[in-house]
Structure 1
Amino acid sequence: MSAVTEASPKALAPPPRGGVIQSIRDSLVIARRNLIRMTRIPEVVLFGIIQPVMFVILFTYVFGGSIRVGNSTSAEVYKNFLMAGIFAQTVTFATAGSAAGIADDMQKGLVDRFRSLPMARGAVLTGRTVADLVQTAITLVVLAIVALIVGWRPGFAEPTNIGKILGAFGLLLLLGYAFTWIGALIGLSVRTPEAATSGGIIWLFPVTFISNAFVDSSQMTPWLRHIADWNPFSATVQACRQLFGDPGLSQSGAWPMQQPVWATLIYSVLIIGIFRTLAVRKYRGAAG
């Protein structure tokens, strides 16, 4: 009699294809799969747009005129001060959706299915984050239109131009993409999409509110102001206000507030480098 041994799924899986070009191709295939899925579930995109629009309207008409920006409590000044913070909050809150989506894919066994394909291991996560970036870009376009309707005017405090405005939105998308990798790691680390949603959003509240997004950080207590000034989120908000020509630029001597564009680029690249490495390693461990 001959002994029959059952090969493990890992042994049966074809070896992943290597090379940067192949990895990009595989990532684009996964991104396309996720974008098609979004079009088939339009309510996900719709609800993702409604939430930031509600923030714009509520903050504009509820807090406008009651919060001091510099030496002014004007509703018009606060409205233009606010928008960079709302834009930045929108791109970072997309993290929760990324975490929940990846956790859902894990729960449904898509990891095992992708393991059977000769594809780059990191392509599954990269494709997902790219698809989420496209959804975030669509949300930002709609949000910018709503902001213009309620009275946001680029160049309100300082002259600006279309190149600077597009550069600001580019920084926002870069920060959003960086944060989706944090969401990817969270999604791989929990067991259910519900836990991923909670884990993906709870830490964002201190990040976004201990910042210069909604209030002038100079009005905070000294120890809290230092945290806000070195917050990567605050750097992006400061950079956007600078490029949009919005009022309320922080006068802090902290380096991220003095060089916010460079700070945003450095912070975002570091976040992508660190959390992409951790997420891909976690994915490989889950697939092993």
Structure 2
Amino acid sequence: MTTIAPPRSSGPASDAQAPPARRRTDPTPYLLIAPSLLVLLGVLAYPLVKVVILSTQKWGVAQIFSASGAPSFVGADNYTELLGDSEFWSVLERTVLLTVAMVGLSMGIGFAVALLMRRVPAWCRRGMTFALVMAWSVPTFISTEIFRWMTEYNSGVVNWALGTQPHNWYTDSTQGLAVATAVVVWGAVPLIAITLYAGLLQIPAELVEAARMDGAGAWGVFRHITLPVLRSLLLMLTTLSVIWDFQVFNQIWILRNGAPSSDYYTLGIYAYVKAYAAHDYGLASAAAVLTVVALLGVMVVYLRQIAKIGELS
């Protein structure tokens, strides 16, 4: 019997066992994004650092019109004054409750519209998509003015439809903030609905069909297939909605004609009033910094979701 000898290696170690050669880092991508990074640092980082510095200074009318114009350093005094103000905590609580209501309604209605778009005929879906895009394209100022006209005291269409004419929706801040919530939800639903509908199209039909053959009903398919597949997208949209709605300003400010009472204040309006009505720019900057700190955790969750989606792709 003939024995076939194994091939000889040309060296002490085979090519498969040789250590891989180190790759040289190509600096071209970093050079290409460097201008954009510099612009972002100038547009975003510099103002943020400036606000942090301002929050540790005493800045008011006296400093603006003084001969030297140099503010005095007060350290954490602005933060101490802010955290000791009962109005600040009331404003923070109102902001959190409004954010929960706005985000919950936006996500719930948007998800429902996305599910409906998958069930209706193609011609109806195209009409819904067109209407959603048109609603989303309306500027905040215009949509808020429309809602203010609809809730007008004497001739508002809402009062006419409800049979409560005349009725002032803004005497009670609860009703007024409900109108502001409706404006925010109306503007947020189109993006959420269209994005979730695009996510629904990515669910394999074979997976749904297999679940139905195993005896799963509509709720079972929704719970065990739709929600798990869309979990990352839902979390990302919820996180973005929290960031946007926590900073709501325009809707309330416009509905109240630029002069909201204190029971309409959110953190954004509170900081604005402290800066431009009370002329306490150091205290207003401290409120702005605390708002950013409150949103840092939400931003971290959003960035992690973006990273996960990038890894999956």
Pairwise same-fold verdict (TM > 0.5) = no
TM-score normalised by L of structure 1: 0.33
Give me the TM-score of the superposition, normalised by structure 2.
0.31
